[in-house]
Amino acid sequence: MIRLKQLLRELSDSEKTRLLDKIKNKQFRLIGGGDNGRVYTIDGEDKVFKITTERDEFEVATIIVNRSAEFTCFIPVYYVSDREQMYIMSNAEQLTEQDRMNIDAFTEQFKQFARSEGGEVSIFNFLDADGARNTDVKLVNFIRALQRDVDKLGIADFDLDLDFSSSNMMMWNNKLVLVDW
């Protein structure tokens, strides 16, 4: 059964059409990009869209589209287009400096752990191997929830390919979310 709360988090067909018309009419501006894609803000909207060349990233967007209540650690995705490998998602806010520092410290400790283990480990393996001892509780709770979300995705070895870093995380509705994975 679809819950009213979930329906309110999804875009109506008219909202999708309006956003896609703005994209078609180039009513957007570039706000960031990396090796595998670019993110654009849609003029006058609280949504952004991303065009990606990364197959796994697009596969995740396809799985989590309109499932923000189920996949709480990923930024909500509202629309995907196979043809353009594009998806529309919520806009988010920058991390606080403290959150960024906590994530960066965790990431550095994870890298050291990965080198000592030979490289084929995930952030979840690190957390299980006592990585939580010196890690901020808020971050540990997020990573544990992320582990459950990654498991639900059902993508083989995605935990090993997860691009976990402070540059791929933001705040949405006062909680940490991955905006790039």
User: Global pTM?
Assistant: 0.89
Q: Half-sphere exposure of residue 97, counting CA atoms within 13 Å on the CB side?
A: 0
CA 33 to chain centre: 14
Helices and strands per DSSP (H, E), number in the chain: 7, 7
Question: Does the pLDDT value for residue 9 go beyond 80?
Answer: no
What number is the average pLDDT over the span 1-6? 44
Give the pLDDT band of residue 11 (cuts 50, 70, 90): confident
What number is the average pLDDT over the span 2-29? 80
